[in-house]
Structure 1
């Protein structure tokens, strides 16, 4: 029993530490996004405005989630350290406190926004096939409904997000959210690899890195978020203390992954509908091919110039 108590406390502490580190990364990407959106002409004015509003909303929600976690840790370890049964007992008695429910609601809302971004990005990649979007849309709506229900259940008196009745709603929510991300990730990666194969045959590997390189696949598909979600679900279902740490880390990536996509959009390196339209018509291939030929021509000219001087 003692070991399990310490595991719970360690897990909560480690989770908060990683959450704080990832929050710093979130802040860095946020300010880069704002700077690029305000000081460059990349994308339309509507897109730049969306980048600012969406990024600010994500940052606000994830800030509330982190602040609530840290406040609960302070109450558990410092202000009420003499609570009968120790910090673990205080944790069990106060996990449904209003500030914890607020933190859960903030994280769930950030997840709704992030999944909405992924749904839109999937539409960008598969917009030519509306039928392909039916299943992801249904998963998204189910995930939103279960996320709201889980938040309400965990906030009821004697509620606990990590065990009891709330888990009966939390597991379906996590399953729907993670299955949604697996499906959307698979769809986006499939399209990226398909385009990579097509473009690579025409212009070569170096010229396609911006569109279909490893970084593009990781960011556009939010693959790290999906993998972390699978790990978190496996621990959450077993109701073991280590799930607390993964809850915080996964909760940070709820905002971090969509923020990375928005930053990529602000930098002008993200896929858009226009990108696919140009690729479908062959225009993008021609542009890349011409740029590659120009680059090679410049190199040849420099080589000939050097030879003539010798």
Structure 2
């Protein structure tokens, strides 16, 4: 139990602000551990058994994993250095560590962290657009419709992100929330749109597969886990947890804003992990599933035709063999195959 005599001479609101900044830094370290683990697993799964064809196919994903891991490492390093400055090196700053975190947001060390944060957001959302393209390939709805819509959101997010970075190089994002709030809201809108597009498409496949092949087929592509991972729902939920306190100017925003980049990196790497493990939807999945569905339908029709025929399709032929014995034959006619089966 803490001794009240050693509490700092600050009001409860200031202490709570400092608590949230420090707790956010601790959560950020935990999230980075997940990023590092996923990045290493994805890298080795992608390069395992590497051939020229596999290298050509998986090189973009390998490059993506390396970029996300590098950005996350730079982010955690600079962010923790900034936290150290606030709580140790500059702890006598007027207003305490929480005031330092807000007012010194444009320092070079923190600017690097902010740049890597925004770049991680750009790359992760670009991966989400790629997943939309893959999942909507060979769809009845042209893939360019969904991809174009999502791309417009991404382009708007890119512009707002650039303006956001320009703004925070000179002032704190809490001083003028125009570009800050706009950037994160468009990132949220893009992820909500992508979530809707991906989940609705996977649910449609799930319905078709269950109707033709049974509920157990294609579960690796259409399960709840697949939908959550493919749509980066984890990042979407976490972003909402940041935006709501940010709009309300509640100190809890300090916990979530420090972890956004790493949570998005985790969501993106989980998609790569599913693809590398062979559980993610690829450009060939639709063709494979369609072939299985078509084959099942053909076998079902053939089984129906092979069943006992109706009386209208049965004729009887009789002939006398060379030994003088009368032989009767039941002849079954099938219209679909225009063939004769002799029993």
Greater relative contact order (Cα < 8 A, sep 6+): 1
Of 20, 37, 46, 1:11 maps to 20
**RMSD, matched Cα:** 2.1
Q: Pairwise mapping of residues 1-310 of structure 1 onto structure 2 (< 5 A)?
A: 2-40=11-49, 44-127=54-137, 128=139, 129=142, 130-156=144-170, 159-161=171-173, 163-165=174-176, 167-279=177-289, 282-285=290-293
Higher radius of gyration, 1 or 2: 2
Deviates more, 1:13-22 or 1:181-190: 13-22
1:204 CA drift (Å): 2.2
SS at match of 1:271: coil
Distance in 2 (CA, whole Å) between partners of 1:88 and 1:9 is 5
Answer yes or no: is the 8 Å Cα contact 1:207–1:288 preserved in 2.
no
Gaps of 5+ in 2: 1-9, 298-343
Structure 1 residues 44, 89: CA separation in 2 closer, same or farther (over 3 Å shift)? same
1:97 CA drift (Å): 0.6
Structure 1 residues 144, 207: CA separation in 2 closer, same or farther (over 3 Å shift)? same
Structure 1 residues 78, 119: CA separation in 2 closer, same or farther (over 3 Å shift)? same
Answer yes or no: is the 8 Å Cα contact 1:7–1:242 preserved in 2.
no
Distance in 1 (CA, whole Å) between partners of 2:245 and 2:44 is 39
Gaps of 5+ in 1: 290-310
Distance in 1 (CA, whole Å) between partners of 2:134 and 2:47 is 24
Q: Once the two structures are superposed, what CA deviation does each residue of 1:269-307 show, in whole Å capped at 9, x if it has no partner?
A: 11012112333xx21436899xxxxxxxxxxxxxxxxxx
Distance in 2 (CA, whole Å) between partners of 1:150 and 1:20 is 25
1:251 CA drift (Å): 2.3
1:229 CA drift (Å): 1.3
Kindly indicate which of the two structures has a greater share of residues assigned to helix.
1
Count, aligned residues: 284
TM-score by length of 1: 0.86
The residue aligned with 2:323 is: none
SS at match of 2:250: coil
TM-score by length of 2: 0.78
Kindly indicate which of the two structures has a greater share of residues assigned to strand.
2
Q: Once the two structures are superposed, what CA deviation does each residue of 1:156-197 show, in whole Å capped at 9, x if it has no partner?
A: 1xx112x112x1111111111100100011100000000001
Answer yes or no: is the 8 Å Cα contact 1:261–1:270 preserved in 2.
yes
Distance in 2 (CA, whole Å) between partners of 1:232 and 1:185 is 18
SS at match of 2:20: helix
Answer yes or no: is the 8 Å Cα contact 1:20–1:66 preserved in 2.
yes
Distance in 1 (CA, whole Å) between partners of 2:15 and 2:282 is 49
Deviates more, 1:112-121 or 1:245-254: 245-254
